[in-house]
């Protein structure tokens, strides 16, 4: 197998790999280095995260399982710093050295940061990745006033997000009008008026010369001497290709890494794709052209004949609610162009089409973009419009986004429906007909339409409805199947398991006619969980269907070693246990012993083959630090020692942990118990938190202290420990029975509603029934470490050297 290495784990690069896998799944042994500590995610949606429309989990395009399924060795949080193009090797910042036969550079861009005094102060950021987004969300919680420098696409989307996060926002722009690269002054003025009405304040034609403050920013100073206050400054002034590695390794770089029409650099076997690449003197900053490049490169690298990449015409839209605009091609008239223009000030609509030699060369639409797909097709195909009237150019009976069956029916097959992914109506219709697709999700997975910004989804839905005719079921079409192996949703799978009495993962996939015999890493763990939830006391656990950490009962680390975290009920330990941990750490040369965030002791860097003997020597139960189950119950010292404590938090924490440990849940569950409202165990950001008050406990639910920071909601107040156990049991069981697999309690609670859950739990009979089902389930679990110690078969299957690779 040839060795293919890719530097950069972003949108263009991973799309190239997807295309390669479609063409030649067996040709390459693939290694990817990504500087960011995540799998490939949808960078476009960072704007939506900031605006509060989606969560971080929702924007992962290729989860870690995808890499494992495709045997891709992924090194996240690791940057390549050097390429030796003669020896055909790359070197990472962590001292790793990897040989390649073919090398793809897909390092994207970085945000331009103004080189002015104070630019490195705390509170100043670009807007490029998850880290920047997290910082903005965090600072918006602490401060009130933001300044965004740059009134382009990114700056305006960031500003809208910061408004949504409750900040006051000034947008500082260098030019006389906004988005001057995409809009003429009329459309830009309309946009500015709309955004002002939404609450943005604009400072136009302002050049920022200094960022004020000591360690952290307090304001901006402009060239004209004026100043504004700011606690957060976002620089959105454009991007610069990441080319250092290429440049330092002798690869030819201009603005980007210079490539030919097959994405080849000047060095044999080294290619570049995406925002880091410069093709015919253009560096693109939108996904549509990058995905076109990806396709050409994939074909070329697989040795398939392909059309060369000749460059792209791009169309842009702004992802801000209440703003409807589209722009493509040229935007300013000159002596060689003629324009058709409509400016309906009353309705806030502006349309301008620029024409040269009977061909459309530019489009600016504001307020009504229904005709954008049709006009864009005419522009990209360079259609001759001499037979058309100005009215029929600007308006069409079959305007693309009209979303009626008639509109879709009269659209030509080559009309571009998904601009980001270059998918036409014809491709979508063909896929629906030949592959029997019935849901939006399936069309998306099959054709890529809708997988990026998602703007085309309503149109794709119309095509689906029109193509299926009477067979179209609106409710079913928008339902989400549990994965691409089936059209069935979670509810349908559960219903079928119950009515047909299906008892194993294999049986479910066979009887329900999975289109992929083996299932995938998304559906297999989910089915296994649903089976375990339905068959409380006799469900057969299919260990091999579990995610890798749960299969191994240890958390796999980035270097392929594992961590071992023994159970320490309520975060309380003893000298005896501490001695055992210390002895094991010494005996097995454990490289890192660390206290975890959940008040446990973790042994990191353990070899797979050492796991059973370490567990044996420890002789402590598994702490399940790897599982979709109760992880930890964090407790404060409470009334046993603290002078503020009104309740015994340690005792309650230990009781909760002893009762609910090992319970399979749709996602991990963390608890915290504090003995007074000072809340030292941070119960307010736990899935379930308990706060002691005079004469009882407050129970909080739906908190999350991770990526999707969310304060918990007060579920109820109870008087006794028995009531705490009863409510917690019923709550956990209700979550188990109604949540989607891999849905955290915070998201589940937001979906089903706090009020609804309160109503369910207020019903005494319901509480009783839920607890009965839970208790029945809890009886079936055994400690998995002990089980492995006792079973030679398990040891041979899972813990022998070379039985499981990281990439598995």
Ligand X SMILES: NC(=O)c1ccc[n+]([C@@H]2O[C@H](COP(=O)([O-])OP(=O)(O)OC[C@H]3O[C@@H](n4cnc5c(N)ncnc54)[C@H](O)[C@@H]3O)[C@@H](O)[C@H]2O)c1
Ligand Y SMILES: Cc1cc2nc3c(=O)[nH]c(=O)nc-3n(C[C@H](O)[C@H](O)[C@H](O)COP(=O)(O)OP(=O)(O)OC[C@H]3O[C@@H](n4cnc5c(N)ncnc54)[C@H](O)[C@@H]3O)c2cc1C
Which residues would be at the binding site for ligand X (CB under 6 A)?
Answer: 114, 149-155, 157, 172-175, 180-181, 207-208, 236-239, 285-286, 316-319
What is the distance between the alpha carbons of residues 182 and 365, in angstroms, rounded to a whole number?
10
Of 679, 728, 733, 740, the residue at the interface with ligand SF4 (CB under 6 A) is 679
53 is a site residue for ligand FES (CB under 6 A): no
What is the distance between the alpha carbons of residues 721 and 724, in angstroms, rounded to a whole number?
5
**What's the maximum distance between 2 C-alpha atoms anywhere in the chain?**
90
Contact 175, 165 (CB under 8 A): no
What lies within 8 Å, CB to CB, of 313 at 6+ separation is: 328, 329, 379, 380
Q: How far is the CB of 648 from ligand SF4 (least distance, A)?
A: 10
What is the distance between the alpha carbons of residues 35 and 453, in angstroms, rounded to a whole number?
23
Site for ligand FES in 501-520 (CB under 6 A): none
Residue nearest ligand Y, CB atom distance? 10
Choose among ligand FES, ligand SF4, ligand X, none what residue 420 binds, the Cβ cut-off being 5 to 8 Å by kind: ligand FES
What is the distance between the alpha carbons of residues 166 and 196, in angstroms, rounded to a whole number?
15
* Region near ligand SF4 per CB under 6 A, out of 398-406, 545-553, 590-598, 643-651: 643-651
Comparing CA positions, the residue from 384, 347, 111 lying closest to residue 233 is: 111
- In DSSP terms, which residues pair with 7 in a beta bridge? 33, 105
What is the distance between the alpha carbons of residues 649 and 512, in angstroms, rounded to a whole number?
48
Of 636, 671, 732, 774, the residue at the interface with ligand SF4 (CB under 6 A) is 636
Strand 2-7 relative to strand 28-34, pairing: parallel
151 is a site residue for ligand SF4 (CB under 6 A): no
Site for ligand FES in 423-482 (CB under 6 A): 449-456
What is the distance between the alpha carbons of residues 569 and 168, in angstroms, rounded to a whole number?
45
At CB < 8 A and 24+ separation, what contacts does 433-439 make?
A: 433/467, 437/464, 438/464, 438/468, 438/471, 438/472, 438/473, 438/476, 438/477, 438/487, 439/464, 439/476, 439/477, 439/478, 439/479, 439/480, 439/481, 439/487
675 is a site residue for ligand SF4 (CB under 6 A): yes
Site for ligand Y in 55-84 (CB under 6 A): 79-80
CB nearer to ligand SF4: pick between 451 and 634: 634
127 is a site residue for ligand Y (CB under 6 A): yes
Q: How far is the CB of 182 from ligand X (least distance, A)?
A: 7
Contact 741, 505 (CB under 8 A): no
CB nearer to ligand X: pick between 237 and 408: 237
CB nearer to ligand Y: pick between 157 and 655: 157
What is the distance between the alpha carbons of residues 661 and 652, in angstroms, rounded to a whole number?
14
At CB < 8 A and 24+ separation, what contacts does 644-648 make?
A: 644/675, 644/676, 644/678, 645/675, 645/676, 645/692, 646/675, 646/676, 646/692, 646/693, 646/694, 647/675, 647/676, 647/692, 647/693, 647/697, 648/675
Q: How far is the CB of 684 from ligand Y (least distance, A)?
A: 30
Order of strands across the sheet that contains 592-595 = 555-556, 562-564, 601-606, 592-595
Cβ neighbours, 10 Å, residue 135: 18
Q: How far is the CB of 417 from ligand FES (least distance, A)?
A: 7
> If binding means CB under 6 A, how many residues of this protein chain bind ligand FES?
12
By CB atoms closer than 10 A (0-12, 13-18, 19+), residue 476 is middle
Of 317, 596, 674, 745, the residue at the interface with ligand SF4 (CB under 6 A) is 674
Of 107, 448, 632, 728, the residue at the interface with ligand Y (CB under 6 A) is 107
What lies within 8 Å, CB to CB, of 702 at 6+ separation is: 687, 710, 712, 713, 745, 746, 748, 749, 750, 754
Contact 620, 565 (CB under 8 A): no
* Region near ligand Y per CB under 6 A, out of 286-294, 374-382, 439-447, 658-666: 286-294
> If binding means CB under 6 A, how many residues of this protein chain bind ligand SF4?
13
CB nearer to ligand SF4: pick between 329 and 645: 645
Distance of CA 201 to the CA centre of its chain: 31
DSSP H or E run through 698: strand 696-701
CB nearer to ligand Y: pick between 183 and 633: 183
* Region near ligand SF4 per CB under 6 A, out of 45-53, 167-175, 400-408, 674-682: 674-682
257 is a site residue for ligand Y (CB under 6 A): no
Strand 217-222 relative to strand 669-674, pairing: unpaired
Cβ neighbours, 10 Å, residue 144: 12
Choose among ligand Y, ligand X, ligand SF4, none what residue 80 binds, the Cβ cut-off being 5 to 8 Å by kind: ligand Y
Q: How far is the CB of 144 from ligand X (least distance, A)?
A: 22
Of 178, 191, 453, 554, the residue at the interface with ligand Y (CB under 6 A) is 453
400 is a site residue for ligand SF4 (CB under 6 A): no
* Region near ligand SF4 per CB under 6 A, out of 393-401, 536-544, 636-644, 653-661: 636-644
Strand 2-7 relative to strand 89-92, pairing: unpaired
CB nearer to ligand Y: pick between 44 and 749: 44
Return the axis-axis angle of helices 153-164 and 185-198, rounded to nearest 10°. 10
> If binding means CB under 6 A, how many residues of this protein chain bind ligand Y?
36
Q: How far is the CB of 397 from ligand X (least distance, A)?
A: 29
Site for ligand FES in 399-428 (CB under 6 A): 418-421
Choose among ligand Y, ligand FES, ligand SF4, none what residue 454 binds, the Cβ cut-off being 5 to 8 Å by kind: ligand FES
242 is a site residue for ligand Y (CB under 6 A): yes
Contact 8, 105 (CB under 8 A): yes
Choose among ligand SF4, ligand X, ligand Y, none what residue 666 binds, the Cβ cut-off being 5 to 8 Å by kind: none
Comparing CA positions, the residue from 164, 163, 133, 349 lying closest to residue 236 is: 133
* Region near ligand SF4 per CB under 6 A, out of 57-65, 159-167, 637-645, 743-751: 637-645
Q: How far is CA 656 from each of CA 18, 196, 584, 613, rounded to the nearest angstrom?
A: 45, 52, 28, 29
Of 23, 174, 204, 642, the residue at the interface with ligand SF4 (CB under 6 A) is 642
* Region near ligand Y per CB under 6 A, out of 31-39, 322-330, 547-555, 680-688: 31-39
Q: How far is the CB of 319 from ligand X (least distance, A)?
A: 5
Structure tokens at 648: 């015994």
Q: How far is the CB of 418 from ligand FES (least distance, A)?
A: 3
277 is a site residue for ligand SF4 (CB under 6 A): no
Choose among ligand Y, ligand X, ligand FES, none what residue 90 binds, the Cβ cut-off being 5 to 8 Å by kind: none
7 is a site residue for ligand Y (CB under 6 A): yes
Tell whether the torsion through CA atoms of 795, 796, 797 and 802 is positive or negative: positive
Site for ligand Y in 160-179 (CB under 6 A): none
Comparing CA positions, the residue from 111, 109, 213, 194 lying closest to residue 156 is: 194
Comparing CA positions, the residue from 148, 149, 173 lying closest to residue 160 is: 148
* Region near ligand Y per CB under 6 A, out of 56-64, 165-173, 285-293, 723-731: 285-293
Q: How far is the CB of 630 from ligand SF4 (least distance, A)?
A: 21
Question: Rule CB under 6 A: which residues touch ligand FES?
Answer: 418-421, 449-456
Question: Rule CB under 6 A: which residues touch ligand Y?
Answer: 7-13, 33-36, 43-44, 46-47, 79-80, 106-109, 127-128, 154, 242, 245, 274-275, 285-288, 290, 319, 420, 453
Question: Rule CB under 6 A: which residues touch ligand SF4?
Answer: 636-638, 642, 644-645, 649, 674-676, 678-680
């Amino acid at each position: 197998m040839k060795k293919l290495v890719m530097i950069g784990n972003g949108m263009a690069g991973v799309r190239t790999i997807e295309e390669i896998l479609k063409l030649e799944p067996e040709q390459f042994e693939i290694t990817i280095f990504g500087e960011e500590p995540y799998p490939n995610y949808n960078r476009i949606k960072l704007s939506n995260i900031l605006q509060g429309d989606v969560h971080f989990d929702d924007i992962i395009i290729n989860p870690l399982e995808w890499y494992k399924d495709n045997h891709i060795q992924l090194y996240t949080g690791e940057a390549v710093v050097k390429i030796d193009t003669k020896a055909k090797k790359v070197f990472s910042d962590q001292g790793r050295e990897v040989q390649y036969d073919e090398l793809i550079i897909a390092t994207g861009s970085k945000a331009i940061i103004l080189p002015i005094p104070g630019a490195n102060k705390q509170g100043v950021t670009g807007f490029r990745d998850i880290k920047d987004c997290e910082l903005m969300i965090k600072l918006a919680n602490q401060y009130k006033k933001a300044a965004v420098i740059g009134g382009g696409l990114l700056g305006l989307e960031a500003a809208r997000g910061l408004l949504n996060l409750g900040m006051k926002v000034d947008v500082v722009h260098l030019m006389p009008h906004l988005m001057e690269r995409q809009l003429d002054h009329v459309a830009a003025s309309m946009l500015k008026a709309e955004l002002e009405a939404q609450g943005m304040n604009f400072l136009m034609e302002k050049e920022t010369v200094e960022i004020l403050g000591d360690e952290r920013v307090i304001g901006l100073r402009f060239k004209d001497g004026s100043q504004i206050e700011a606690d957060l400054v976002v620089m959105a002034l454009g991007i610069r290709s990441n080319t250092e590695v290429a440049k330092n390794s002798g690869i030819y770089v201009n603005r980007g890494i210079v490539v030919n029409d097959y994405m080849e650099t000047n060095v044999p076997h080294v290619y570049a794709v995406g925002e880091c690449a410069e093709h015919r003197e253009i560096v693109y900053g939108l996904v549509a052209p990058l995905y076109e490049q990806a396709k050409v490169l994939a074909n070329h690298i697989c040795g398939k004949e392909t059309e060369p990449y000749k460059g792209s015409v791009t169309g842009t839209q702004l992802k801000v609610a209440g703003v409807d605009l589209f722009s493509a091609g040229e935007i300013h008239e000159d002596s060689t162009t003629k324009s058709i223009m409509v400016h309906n000030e009353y309705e806030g609509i502006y349309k301008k089409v620029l024409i040269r030699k009977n061909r459309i060369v530019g489009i600016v639409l504001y307020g009504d973009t229904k005709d954008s797909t049709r006009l864009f097709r005419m522009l990209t195909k360079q259609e001759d419009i001499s037979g058309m009237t100005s009215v029929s150019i600007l308006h069409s009976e079959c305007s693309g986004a009209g979303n009626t069956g008639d509109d879709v029916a009269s659209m030509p097959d080559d009309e571009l429906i998904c601009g980001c992914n270059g998918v036409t109506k014809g491709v979508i219709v063909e896929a629906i007909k030949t592959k029997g697709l019935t849901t939006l999700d399936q069309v998306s997975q099959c054709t890529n339409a809708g997988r990026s910004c998602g703007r085309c989804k309503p149109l794709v839905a119309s095509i689906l409805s029109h193509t299926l005719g009477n067979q179209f079921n609106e409710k079913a079409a928008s339902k989400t199947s549990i994965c691409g192996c089936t059209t069935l949703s979670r509810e349908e799978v559960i219903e079928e398991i119950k009515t047909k009495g299906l008892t194993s993962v294999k049986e479910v996939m066979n009887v329900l006619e999975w289109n992929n015999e083996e299932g995938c890493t998304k559906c297999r763990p989910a089915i296994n969980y649903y089976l375990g939830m339905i068959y409380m006391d006799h469900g057969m656990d299919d260990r091999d269907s579990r995610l890798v950490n749960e299969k191994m009962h240890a958390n796999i680390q980035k270097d392929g070693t594992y961590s071992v975290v023994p159970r320490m009920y309520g975060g309380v330990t003893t000298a005896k246990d501490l001695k055992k941990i210390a002895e094991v750490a010494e005996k097995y040369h454990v490289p890192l012993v660390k206290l975890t965030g959940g008040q446990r002791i973790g042994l990191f860097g353990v070899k797979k083959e050492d796991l059973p003997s370490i567990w044996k020597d420890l002789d402590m139960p598994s702490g399940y630090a790897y599982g979709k189950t109760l992880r930890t119950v964090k407790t404060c010292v409470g009334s046993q020692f603290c002078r503020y404590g009104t309740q015994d938090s340690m005792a309650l924490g230990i009781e909760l942990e002893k009762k609910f440990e090992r319970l399979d849940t749709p996602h991990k569950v963390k608890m915290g118990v504090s003995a007074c409202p000072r809340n030292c165990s941070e119960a307010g950001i736990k899935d379930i938190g308990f706060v002691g008050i005079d004469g009882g406990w407050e129970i909080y639910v739906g908190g999350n202290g991770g990526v999707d920071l969310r304060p918990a909601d007060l579920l109820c107040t109870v008087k006794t420990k028995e009531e705490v156990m009863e409510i917690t049991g019923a709550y956990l069981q209700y979550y188990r029975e109604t949540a989607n697999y891999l849905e955290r309690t915070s998201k589940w609670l937001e979906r089903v509603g706090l009020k609804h859950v309160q109503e369910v739990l207020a019903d005494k009979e319901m509480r009783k029934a839920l607890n009965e089902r839970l208790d029945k389930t809890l009886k079936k679990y055994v400690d998995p470490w002990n089980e492995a110690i006792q079973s030679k078969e398990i040891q041979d299957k899972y813990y022998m050297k070379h039985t499981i690779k990281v990439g598995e």
